[in-house]
Amino acid sequence: MGERICSGTPASPGVGFGNAWHFGEDLDGAAQIPQERRESERDAALAALAAAAGELRSVAHDLDGPAAEIVETGALMGEDPMLIAAVERAIMADGVAAAEAILRATAEHAKLIAGLGDETLAARADDVHSLGRRAARLAAGQRATAPPADDVILVAHDLGPGDVAEFASALAGIALAAGGPTAHAAIVARSLGIPMVTCLHEGAHEISDGASVVVDGSSGAVVIEPCSDRARSAQTDMRIRRLAARRAYELRDRPAVTADGTRVVVLANVASRAELDVGMRAGAEGIGLLRTELAFLGARDWPSEQEHTDALQPILAGLGHDQPAVVRVLDFGADKSPPFLRDVPQRGIELLLVHPAAFVAQLRAVLLAAQRHDVRVMLPMVQTVLDVSRSRGLLEQVAAQLGIDRLPSLGSMIETPAAADDAPAIAASSDFLSIGTNDLTSSTLGADRFAANTARAHHPRVLRSIARAVAAAHEANIPIEVCGEAASDPIMLPLLVGLGIDELSVGAARVGPVRDSIRDLSAAEAAGLARTALTMDSAEEVEAAVRSATAERALVK
């Protein structure tokens, strides 16, 4: 039987090859628990939930800090009163055994979360399933599951972020029936450089345990029993990726300078200390985007000053004294809404300005952190100069209350065509600009930012918006960075350098490859390529031009 190709959704880039290992087997059901044993069974179930939460905290600790606050949040779910009450009901009222009660309650809890109609909250459903599997195993007295060998392809219906972090050292790739690119498991996989494909649906069930599998996390393809040529190619890709990681570590102190001498600062996008550590090992020069909202997506109310401080400190502690951290203030709204803000119409800085007390709480924490670190404040989804001036006024007011004289730089994110059009005025009121290419691309082209292959940042219309923002920043004599996914895209990279971007902030696992790619570029040639791309009509034309120029440069070298 020949190779079989299943198509899913790309969730973490790279190619992995190995033997399939199925994770998350079902537990056998149990007979009805008699009345006299139900209290002890309930106690065992609650102890198992607490122990599972403890395991997740241990995983987070082993990653040198919250892989995230994301993994830590998974642990907190074990203490959710609604979940605990559901487990107790299943045992005390229905006589269900501890392991089965946990699985039933977490499945119901996950279904409730997934049905809320909020993409970010729905992503937490997988985390609840993962917690339930872990706790049910403990309640049933089963030994912990472990990969049977190194370089396995983990195959499952869904996965929690703690599972990814715990098994990372043995994984060559991950193939999931469900999940998605915005799920917490995918975020952790990207931060650790593990290829992942999600949404395989029935395709995942075609993968037998031990089968050889190729996972292409860039294209979304999973190949079962690949032909020898494909398997060798995947093994070569894995070897190259690992060599690149080692090379990035060896060259981490060498700046990213093009072949003709243009310096480009490469920073890391992070939401956790684990991601920062990955980026710093590869030579990141600091943090270009600290996503503060990810630590609070499950919050029941606006975070307090202390909660902001507790989230910031472990991450900033990983920086050297001269390494910057661009802290984006809470970008709640749209796909990133905690329960208490569900269905709010505002997003980003507009939402914060509607809730000034919440904004002030974060500004106090950031200002105090800025006394010990090179912190810069970034405003998400800026639309007008008024957004900047009102935010600066609050920043100055808080600084005066704290007796702080030296204010951190205040920057604006350009994420819509309207903001790009107004970039000269916004730049004149800002200390730096940052381009969020994910939202800029989707809003320019009218596409879903989460749908695969529907919106391309190298479309000429998007490039023209970026060019306007770059020109405005340079006219105002302030730096401009790109912190969206496009910053590490092989097609976009030469275009961004050619357009004159000063800084690129990329996913932690992409820092090394991006730095290497910059060293291979000629800034002069990239500028010519960018000028040509701005006159084109389609993303396909631009892509063809970039690929042709890249091939020609490779031949010259």
Of the residues 6, 129, 373, 483, only one is catalytic, namely 483
- DSSP letter for 181, please: T
Active site residue 199: no
Q: Is 216 exposed, middle or buried (0-12, 13-18, 19+ CB in 10 A)?
A: buried
| Cα 429 → chain centroid | 30
Of the residues 109, 184, 308, 373, only one is catalytic, namely 184
Burial 266-305 (b: 16+ CB within 10 A, else e): bbbbbbbbbbbbbbbebbbbbbbbbbbbbbbbbbeebbee
Distance CA 184, CA 74 (A): 10
Distance CA 529, CA 540 (A): 14
Q: Which ranges of 403-510 would DSSP assign to H, the alpha helix?
A: 417-421, 423-428, 437-445, 460-475, 492-499
37 contact partners, CB below 8 Å, separation of at least 6: none
Does domain 4-24+145-243 fall into CATH 3.40.50.800? no
User: CB 60: neighbour CB atoms within 10 A?
Assistant: 27
Which regions of the chain are under pLDDT 70? 1, 24-31, 58-79, 113-124, 126, 143-144, 182, 274, 335, 447-455, 552-557
Q: Is 352 helix (H, G, I), strand (E, B) or coil?
A: helix
Give the CA distances from residue 543 to residues 438, 440, 444, 482, in Å, rounded to whole numbers and listed in that order.
Answer: 18, 19, 18, 19
State the pLDDT at residue 64: 43
Active site residue 184: yes
Fold identical between 4-24+145-243 and 251-556? no
Give the CA distances from residue 190 to residues 147, 212, 283, in Å, rounded to whole numbers and listed in that order.
Answer: 20, 23, 17
Instruction: Extract the tokens encoding 384.
Output: 């007008």
453 contact partners, CB below 8 Å, separation of at least 6: none
Distance CA 194, CA 15 (A): 9
Distance CA 60, CA 162 (A): 8
Give the CA distances from residue 145 to residues 72, 154, 166, 532, in Å, rounded to whole numbers and listed in that order.
Answer: 20, 12, 11, 55
- DSSP letter for 477, please: T
Handedness of CA 158, 50, 110, 332 (dihedral sign): negative
CATH number, span 35-139? 1.10.274.10
CATH number, span 251-556? 3.20.20.60
Q: Rounded to a whole number, what is the largest CA-CA distance in the chain?
A: 81
State the pLDDT at residue 37: 82
Distance CA 311, CA 293 (A): 10
Distance CA 273, CA 261 (A): 32
Can you give the residue ranges of every domain in the chain?
Answer: 4-24+145-243, 35-139, 251-556
Give the CA distances from residue 179 to residues 53, 120, 372, in Å, rounded to whole numbers and listed in that order.
Answer: 21, 12, 39
